[in-house]
Structure 1
Amino acid sequence: MSEDVLFYLFYNCPGEVYQVAAANELYSRDWRYHKSLGVWLTRSQYGGVKEHTATYEKGSYNVFDPVQWRKVGFFFELVFF
């Protein structure tokens, strides 16, 4: 199943089994959900992680923007909680 279909199911079937199944499949494909931002992100294959510690990681990530319905590249720091 394509990532577009998985994102569609996740964002358009809240509280349904389809949302959970889509989330599980995205997770298995190395996507992670950022609860505060409400978006999915994954490490970019171009650039990747530049710095990694026990509390944070800096690098290039692909973020799926559900408003523009596309993947956008970002360089930022993720702090682990």
Structure 2
Amino acid sequence: MKKLYHTHLFRPTLKCIIKLNMNFFYYTVFKLQEMIEGSYKNSIKKSDRDQYRQYTPRMLWGNPCKFFPTTPLSVYQSPELFEKLHLDTLFFIFYYQPGTYQQHLAAKELKKKSWKYHKKYTTWLLPDFNTIKILNEQVEHGTYVSFDYVSTWSKQLKKNFSFEYIHLEDEITI
């Protein structure tokens, strides 16, 4: 039986293999750059982040299914659950469920973890107890970790920050 192809025509040289691999590498990098640029185009804008979206159910006339729950589960109102939640979750609940019992429980748990709420800046601050100096009955000065919920949703270090007690939120209200 006669071969229809010649094997020496299909043997790539080392130079050819390197060139093919480099072309594949550059193509992959190019595609990754396209995906990153595309993700930047669809990133969250400040106007999207600051907007609070209220849930509106699709069936406004009621639920025909009797087995579907109409009230939240009682576990979501349990302080024991909030003790297990991560800090980011507690901050999310505090800032995005205003006026609810869950916001109250999140604030209570943040206070247990030594965070202080600053009313003027509407942010949570965690004092670095090694650097805090109490200047008088109304002011303490030192390094704090601040939670920035507006622009970066991250913790930021604030050195030489003066915390005036008149801006401290002591009462946790619902």
> What's the TM-score once normalised by structure 1's chain length?
0.89
Residues in 1 aligned to 2:111 and 2:144: alpha-carbon distance in whole angstroms: 15
Q: 3-state DSSP class of the match of 1:15?
A: coil
Partner residue of 1:78 out of 136, 139, 163: 163
Deviations 1:10-59 (A, max 9, x none): 011011111111000000110011111000001126x531x212221110
Residues in 1 aligned to 2:142 and 2:114: alpha-carbon distance in whole angstroms: 15
**Greater Cα radius of gyration, structure 1 or 2:** 2
Residues in 2 aligned to 1:10 and 1:73: alpha-carbon distance in whole angstroms: 21
Give matches, 1:9-28, under 5 Å.
9-28=93-112
Does the CA-based 8 Å contact 1:44-1:73 persist in structure 2? no
Where structure 1 has 5 or more consecutive residues not aligned to the other structure, the ranges are none
Where structure 2 has 5 or more consecutive residues not aligned to the other structure, the ranges are 1-84, 167-174
Q: 3-state DSSP class of the match of 2:155?
A: strand
Q: Which amino acid aligns with 1:41?
A: L
Partner of 1:61: 144
- Percentage identity across paired residues of the two chains: 34
Residues in 2 aligned to 1:18 and 1:37: alpha-carbon distance in whole angstroms: 22
Partner of 2:115: 31
Q: 3-state DSSP class of the match of 1:24?
A: helix
Quick check: which one's strand share is greater?
Answer: 1
Residues in 1 aligned to 2:86 and 2:108: alpha-carbon distance in whole angstroms: 14
> What's the offset of the Cα at 1:79?
1.7
- The number of residue pairs the alignment matches comes to 79
- Structure 1 ranges of 4+ moved more than 4 A: none
Quick check: which one's helix share is greater?
Answer: 2
